[in-house]
């Protein structure tokens, strides 16, 4: 059956990295890396995904919508700064866009981060990514500042923030 907003798999959240015992299955890491590689504007390679989710060099929260075969969407935050969590990546499979999955991933993660006493979420987004800008604005994120050439020459970013 084609996945839909009423049946897109389950959403799990994992706190991982330094001082967390969470073990994320290699198959899940590979599926995250594949989806990122196919559809994220600035993908990481699989080595970086393994570093982040398996090694103990930082602290992270990841929310994943998945079933046994597929990952449908994810949101990944750096949580090393106790005040402000950093949203590194949020992605929804293009087949499932505009059905509320991104909103659920982001708002549920923000509730968990608030429970962990983070006060805000911070992110960068490319100024030409109107889809993501509309999404973040809809969910209460405000532009803090522009960052020239943040993603490379002529690829400016906005830094945005939401207070939890």
Q: What is the radius of gyration, based on Cα positions, of the chain?
A: 15
**Cβ proximity to ligand COA, 54 vs 70, nearer residue:** 70
CA distances for 133 relative to 2, 27, 137, angstroms: 28, 31, 6
Site string for ligand COA, 23-62 (x = CB under 6 A): -----------------xx---------------------
Task: Report how far residue 34's alpha carbon sits from residue 18's, in angstroms, rounded to the nearest whole number.
Answer: 24
How many residues line the site for ligand COA (CB under 6 A)?
19
The crossing angle, in degrees rounded to 10, of helices 46-54 and 26-39 is 130
Can residue 158 be called a binding residue for ligand COA (CB under 6 A)? no
Q: How far, in Å, CA of 38 to CA of 46, rounded? A: 12
Q: Which stretch binds ligand COA (CB under 6 A): 63-71, 97-105, 110-118, 146-154?
A: 97-105
Q: Which stretch binds ligand COA (CB under 6 A): 11-19, 54-62, 96-104, 141-149?
A: 96-104
Determine the 3-state secondary structure of 12 from DSSP. strand
Q: How far is the CB of 102 from ligand COA (least distance, A)?
A: 2
**Residue 101 interacting with ligand COA (CB under 6 A):** yes
Contacting residue, 102, 113, 118, 141, with ligand COA by CB under 6 A: 102
Q: How many helices (H) and strands (E) does the chain have?
A: 4, 7
The smaller minimum CB distance to ligand COA, of residues 82 and 107, is found at 107
Q: What is the residue-wise DSSP string for 37-53?
A: HHH-SSPPPHHHHHHHH
Query: Which stretches of the chain bind ligand COA, using CB under 6 A?
Result: 40-41, 90-92, 97-103, 125, 129, 131-132, 134-135, 138
């Amino acid at each position: 059956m084609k996945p839909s907003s009423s049946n897109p798999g389950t959403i799990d959240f994992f706190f991982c990295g330094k001082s967390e015992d969470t073990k994320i299955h290699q198959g899940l890491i590979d599926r995250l890396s594949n989806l990122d590689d196919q559809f994220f504007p600035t993908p990481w390679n699989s080595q970086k995904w393994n570093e982040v989710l398996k090694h103990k060099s930082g602290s992270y929260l990841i929310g994943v919508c998945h079933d046994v075969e597929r990952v449908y969407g994810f949101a990944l935050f750096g949580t090393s700064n106790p005040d402000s969590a950093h949203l590194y990546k949020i992605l929804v499979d293009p087949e499932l866009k505009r059905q509320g999955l991104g909103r659920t991933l982001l708002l549920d993660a923000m509730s968990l981060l608030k429970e962990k006493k983070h006060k805000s979420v911070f992110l960068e987004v490319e100024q030409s990514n109107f889809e993501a800008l509309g999404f973040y604005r809809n969910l209460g994120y405000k532009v803090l500042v522009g960052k020239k050439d943040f993603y490379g020459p002529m690829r400016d970013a906005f830094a945005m923030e939401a207070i939890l």
